[in-house]
Amino acid sequence: MNNMSPEVALHRISPELRPLLCNVVRNGRVGLDSTNCLRVTDLKTGCTSLTLGPCCDRFKLHIPYAGETLKWDIIFNARYPELPPDFIFGDDAEFLPEPSELPHLVQWDAGKSECLLQLVKELLQQYHQYQCQRLRESSRLLFEYDSLLEDSSYHHNMEVYAGRKNSWTGEFSARFLLKLPVDFSNIPVYLLKDTALDPGEDVALLSVSFEDAEATQVFPKLYLSPSIEHALGGSSALHIPAFPSGGCLIDYVPQVCQLLTNKVQYVIQGYHKRREYIAAFLSHFGMGVVEYDAEGFTKLTLMIMWKDFCFLVHVDLPLYFPRDQPTLTFQSVYHFTNSGQLYSQVQKSYPYSPRWDGNEMAKRAKAYFKTFIPQFQEGAFANGKL
């Protein structure tokens, strides 16, 4: 019943209602958090138990909203599939949307498969307004909301969940979920390709939880879509600053935005820099290039001959190049170590400066090779065996 796969749900629902549910399950991305799609559970029927299936016509829809999951009951009648559904809004017993503001309910058309999904989106909008209304119970939080509302970048990209008042302590809590206006479009495609699932929209969401009405306990959290997270170097790479006590969202959120933007820029720059580096090496070493990463420009392998001594140089470019220095690995083509590997030496510190351009780096690298090779050769002959 729970964690039902969409296909199972579609199989059990009454055939006349299937198109509506199909649309919801397959295309159903509502709200800011579009990485989580809508889920359907608890399929039941309103027909007598003697009716042969599939005849399910009522179910629970799980909708992600402001970090919470809303569980709404949707009730159809399989015998009258042309009729619009009824809703039970779970624990939000006081939420009563205005029917006139639900055009897809007033002009319900069971023939249009997207009708249900559109209706759910309209209900969600009404729900958002209802939650914002509830913020009135705390003037501080209402202020936060209003200030964000004025900023056009956040106005339409905000979900608010005003939590239930704790009946014992009388505390009121709220959560703001904001979609950060950060441009991810310039992130090189290769960085976004590695995720197994459909990455969906690239989005960064900032969730700020106010555990009390006076904003003394505030917990921010950044959510990145998987591809962005990967592109920026994993979840550990990005740390957002703590919410300053006495601060407010209208100041804090832009801070986080800037941080994120900087990071993205850095990543983009790094990519370009790496490309430049590789290009310079290609032009300097020409035929000596064995192979290189033509997508991410993270690796380069050269084969160099010096006084009849051949060797390989592997260059590994880190993510935060040029800030971080590339690693050079020298490898002999003749000598093996005891473990059967080709004899190699890694060099991490050599003359380098992040301010050099690609050309300069290639020239300097060449010069370094010349000084280092005799040393390497000796080492190879001494420690390796043919």
Partner 1 sequence: MAASISGYTFSSVCYHSANSNSDHEGFLLGDVRQEETVSISDTQISTAELLQIVEIHNHDPCAQLFSFYDYAGKVSEENLNSILKDRRKKVIGWYRFRRNTQQQMSFREQIIHKQLTQLLGVPDLVFLLFSFISTANSSTHALEYVLFRPNRRYNQRITLSIPNLGNTSQQEYKISSVPNTSLNYAKVVKEHGAEFFDKDGVMKDIRTIFQVYSALQDKVQAVCVEVEQSERVKEKFQEDVNKLKQQIALRKRKTAEEKRLREVQNADSRSTPEENTEPPEASLLSRITFHAPSAPERPSTSPNPPSYTDLLSQDDSLLSSSSPPTSAALLPRPQAVGSPGHPTPGPLGMGLAMGLGLSLGTSPNPVTTPSTPYLGNGDGSSSDSLDRQAAGQEDDDDDEDDEDDDEEDEDSSEYENLVSETTHLQMVSASVLVPGRPAALSPDGDARGSQTT
| Among 213, 344, 201, 365, CA closest to 283 | 365
Tell the smallest beta-carbon distance from residue 62 to partner 1 (Å).
15
Q: Which amino acid is at 269?
A: Q
> Residue ranges of the alpha helices (H) in 135-175?
139-150, 152-155
Binding site for partner 1 (CB under 8 A): 44-49, 51, 58, 73, 75, 77-80, 83-84, 86-89, 93, 96-97, 99-100, 102, 105-108
* Nearer residue to partner 1 within complex by CB, 44 or 366: 44
Residues 6 or more apart in contact with residue 28 via CB below 8 angstroms: 37, 38, 117, 120
* Nearer residue to partner 1 within complex by CB, 58 or 179: 58
* Nearer residue to partner 1 within complex by CB, 78 or 142: 78
* Nearer residue to partner 1 within complex by CB, 5 or 51: 51
Tell the smallest beta-carbon distance from residue 51 to partner 1 (Å).
7
Tell the smallest beta-carbon distance from residue 13 to partner 1 (Å).
14
Tell the smallest beta-carbon distance from residue 235 to partner 1 (Å).
38
* Nearer residue to partner 1 within complex by CB, 79 or 348: 79
Tell the smallest beta-carbon distance from residue 95 to partner 1 (Å).
8
Cα 292 from Cα 272, distance rounded (Å): 15
Question: Is residue 352 a contact partner of residue 325, using CB atoms and an 8 Å limit?
Answer: yes
Question: Is residue 154 a contact partner of residue 148, using CB atoms and an 8 Å limit?
Answer: yes
If you count DSSP H runs as helices and E runs as strands, how many of each does the chain have, helices first? 10, 13
* Nearer residue to partner 1 within complex by CB, 42 or 211: 42
**Burial bucket for residue 161 (CB in 10 Å: 0-12, 13-18, 19+):** buried
Tell the smallest beta-carbon distance from residue 83 to partner 1 (Å).
6
Tell the smallest beta-carbon distance from residue 30 to partner 1 (Å).
18
Q: Which amino acid is at 20?
A: L
Question: Is residue 78 a contact partner of residue 47, using CB atoms and an 8 Å limit?
Answer: yes
| Among 354, 265, 372, 283, CA closest to 317 | 354
E-only strand ranges, the chain: 39-44, 58-65, 68-75, 86-88, 158-162, 174-179, 204-210, 218-224, 289-292, 299-306, 309-316, 327-336, 342-347
Q: Is 299 helix (H, G, I), strand (E, B) or coil?
A: strand
* Nearer residue to partner 1 within complex by CB, 73 or 114: 73
Tell the smallest beta-carbon distance from residue 106 to partner 1 (Å).
5
**Burial bucket for residue 114 (CB in 10 Å: 0-12, 13-18, 19+):** middle
* Nearer residue to partner 1 within complex by CB, 80 or 306: 80
* Nearer residue to partner 1 within complex by CB, 86 or 251: 86
Tell the smallest beta-carbon distance from residue 127 to partner 1 (Å).
12
Tell the smallest beta-carbon distance from residue 77 to partner 1 (Å).
4
Cα 17 from Cα 344, distance rounded (Å): 66
Whole-angstrom Cα Rg for the chain = 30
Question: Is residue 38 a contact partner of residue 21, using CB atoms and an 8 Å limit?
Answer: no
* Nearer residue to partner 1 within complex by CB, 107 or 217: 107
